[in-house]
């Protein structure tokens, strides 16, 4: 300890103070905080020592221009922000004596895989963006400072998010350009998934946007983000003996755009997850017309479509209220009876009943219209409301899993008090969040691609 202490004191000026604090600390709290600071400084010390030791062993190589010998310019300082804190060290630098325009060459920098102008290490960028995925930029900056001792302003974290989010978008676009169904067909399905249920669905959620780019002024414009989920669900039994479906693998897609932009994104995820090989697959959605279009165009050949039962019940309730005057017992009974019939797979009986109501002479015209809308809605989805059969097959009857995906993907981060987004700022952060949930996050910080 004593030797380490002397060495650390010599090479890191802040260490003296941190050591004193550590020795004087009394309460557990003080000791924890002082130890944390000290551990970081010891970390920095070890890191810098090792970098400088390794530097001594590195050979300068030759000039990348003329392939001649390089000329030593001695040791020069270098500093980078890292997850351990700001670190500074000295390393050997070289120049070409023939004046080739190759700049200053530092073998140690190449060895460490850092670029000449790089101020921040991947370790801190990756972590700062991880914070910003879930928290506002201001708070991310504060937390990062507390944890690492490095002050990074919110704007810098914002820049890092843009950079990584942009890369995520570019990669997705490249994948969308190369959707290959034949290749997807050749990919084998993981053994564990073969007996599970593949669930696909989509829903829309509104987000508050700035009316014009680059300006915080003007009235908020609400735009719809379309969110899609492709998930493998496994049947589980709870402690109380209840059965439920738990996602064991999933892919989430989202787009701030129209349904045509949504389609290929969802289809790509469905192919990735093995829709072509799935033995049991369902599509879950509420009545949103655009999303059922996605189903009929892409998914219908592979999955059973299920209209969200709760949404159907809601519409049935609307019909009951219109016909039988609000909250009367008659209305309640009518609703309960028909809801039960639907649940029991007697949808034709329900349709017949609605048709009987529509044909009543004394029915007021507005009520008739509501009942006709209800009839058409159920009739159009007649194959998608066979709840008795769905239940028997172990399928979910509601699209709750899709709605909760919208909540945690969008609501949780993008709809805080006073939040308004620029299109770019929104898209970059959205794609970073998607990368996080789809397990591709860390690859966005690989340096080679930049």
SS3 at position 180: coil
Cβ atoms < 10 Å from Cβ of 144: 24
Nearer to Zn ion, 94 or 323 (CB): 94
99-158 residues in contact with Zn ion (CB under 5 A) are 100
CB of 65 to Zn ion, least distance (A): 4
SS3 at position 121: coil
Nearer to Zn ion, 69 or 337 (CB): 69
CB of 423 to Zn ion, least distance (A): 47
Nearer to Zn ion, 70 or 374 (CB): 70
Nearer to Zn ion, 63 or 429 (CB): 63
Residue 54 DSSP symbol: H
Q: Which of 98, 162, 272, 438 binds Zn ion (CB under 5 A)?
A: 98
Nearer to Zn ion, 70 or 164 (CB): 70
52-91 residues in contact with Zn ion (CB under 5 A) are 63, 65-66
Q: Is residue 97 involved in binding Zn ion (CB under 5 A)?
A: no
Angle value at C-alpha 406, between 400 and 410, nearest 5 degrees: 160
Site string for Zn ion, 12-51 (x = CB under 5 A): ----------------------------------------
CB of 104 to Zn ion, least distance (A): 13
Contact indicator for 177, 265 with CB cutoff of 8 Å: no
Dist. CA 26–CA 38, nearest whole Å? 15
CB of 68 to Zn ion, least distance (A): 5
Contact indicator for 210, 218 with CB cutoff of 8 Å: yes
Nearer to Zn ion, 96 or 198 (CB): 96
Q: What are phi and psi of 255, to 5 degrees?
A: -150, 135
CB of 55 to Zn ion, least distance (A): 22
Nearer to Zn ion, 51 or 100 (CB): 100
Contact indicator for 91, 78 with CB cutoff of 8 Å: yes
Looking at the DSSP assignment, which residues form a beta bridge with residue 251? 230
Contact indicator for 42, 4 with CB cutoff of 8 Å: yes
Structure-derived torsion over alpha carbons of residues 147, 153, 154, 155, reported in degrees to the nearest 10? -150
Number of chain positions touching Zn ion (CB under 5 A) = 6
Contact indicator for 208, 272 with CB cutoff of 8 Å: no
Dist. CA 33–CA 28, nearest whole Å? 9
Stretch that binds Zn ion, among 96-104, 127-135, 262-270, 414-422 (CB under 5 A): 96-104
Stretch that binds Zn ion, among 93-101, 128-136, 181-189, 241-249 (CB under 5 A): 93-101
Looking at the DSSP assignment, which residues form a beta bridge with residue 439? none
Nearer to Zn ion, 68 or 400 (CB): 68
Dist. CA 436–CA 133, nearest whole Å? 8
Q: Give DSSP secondary structure letters for 359-383.
A: H-TT--HHHHHHHHHHHHHHHHTGG
Q: Which of 96, 169, 266, 294 binds Zn ion (CB under 5 A)?
A: 96
CB of 60 to Zn ion, least distance (A): 12
161-190 residues in contact with Zn ion (CB under 5 A) are none
CB of 107 to Zn ion, least distance (A): 15
CB of 70 to Zn ion, least distance (A): 8
Q: Which two tokens stand for residue 317?
A: 């309730």
- The footprint of Zn ion (CB under 5 A) covers 63, 65-66, 96, 98, 100
């Amino acid at each position: 300890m004593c030797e380490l202490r002397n060495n650390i004191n010599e090479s890191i000026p802040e260490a003296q103070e941190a050591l004193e604090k550590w020795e004087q600390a009394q309460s557990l709290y003080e000791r924890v905080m002082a130890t944390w600071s000290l551990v970081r400084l010891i970390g920095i010390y070890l890191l810098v020592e090792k970098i400088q030791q390794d530097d001594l062993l590195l050979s300068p190589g030759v000039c990348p221009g003329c392939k001649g010998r390089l000329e030593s310019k001695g040791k020069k300082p270098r500093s980078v922000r890292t997850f351990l804190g700001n670190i500074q060290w000295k390393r050997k630098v070289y120049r070409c004596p023939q004046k080739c325009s190759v700049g200053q060459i530092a073998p140690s920098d190449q060895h460490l895989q850092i670029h000449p102008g790089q101020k921040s290490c991947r370790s801190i960028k990756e972590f700062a963006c991880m914070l910003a995925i879930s928290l506002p930029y201001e708070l991310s900056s504060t937390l990062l400072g507390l944890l690492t001792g490095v002050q990074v302003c919110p704007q810098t974290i914002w820049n890092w998010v843009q950079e990584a989010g942009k890369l995520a978008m570019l990669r997705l676009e490249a994948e969308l350009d190369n959707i290959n169904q034949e290749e997807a067909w050749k990919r084998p399905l993981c053994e564990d998934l073969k007996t599970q249920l593949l669930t696909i669905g989509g829903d829309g959620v509104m987000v508050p946007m700035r009316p014009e780019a680059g300006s915080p002024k003007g009235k908020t414009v609400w735009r719809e983000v379309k969110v899609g989920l492709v998930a493998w669900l496994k049947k589980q039994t709870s402690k109380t003996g209840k059965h439920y479906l738990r996602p064991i693998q999933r892919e989430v897609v989202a787009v701030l755009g129209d349904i045509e932009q949504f389609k290929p994104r969802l289809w790509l995820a469905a192919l990735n997850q093995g829709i072509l090989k799935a033995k049991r697959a369902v599509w879950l959605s509420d009545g949103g017309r655009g999303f059922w279009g996605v189903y009929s165009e892409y998914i219908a050949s592979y999955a059973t479509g299920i209209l969200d039962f709760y949404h159907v019940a809601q519409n049935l309730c609307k019909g009951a209220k219109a016909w039988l005057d609000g909250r009367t017992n008659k209305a309640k009974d009518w609703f309960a009876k028909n809801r039960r019939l639907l649940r029991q797979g007697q949808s034709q009986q329900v349709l017949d009943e609605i048709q009987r109501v529509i044909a009543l002479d004394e029915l007021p015209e507005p009520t008739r219209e509501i009942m006709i809308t209800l009839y058409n809605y159920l009739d159009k989805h007649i194959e998608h409301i066979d709840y008795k059969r769905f239940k028997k097959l172990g399928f979910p009857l509601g699209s709750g899993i899709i709605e909760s995906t919208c909540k945690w993907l969008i609501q949780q981060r993008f709809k805080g008090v006073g939040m308004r987004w620029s299109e770019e700022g929104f898209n970059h952060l959205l794609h970073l969040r998607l990368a996080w949930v789809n397990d591709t996050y860390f690859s966005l910080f690989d340096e080679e691609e930049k």
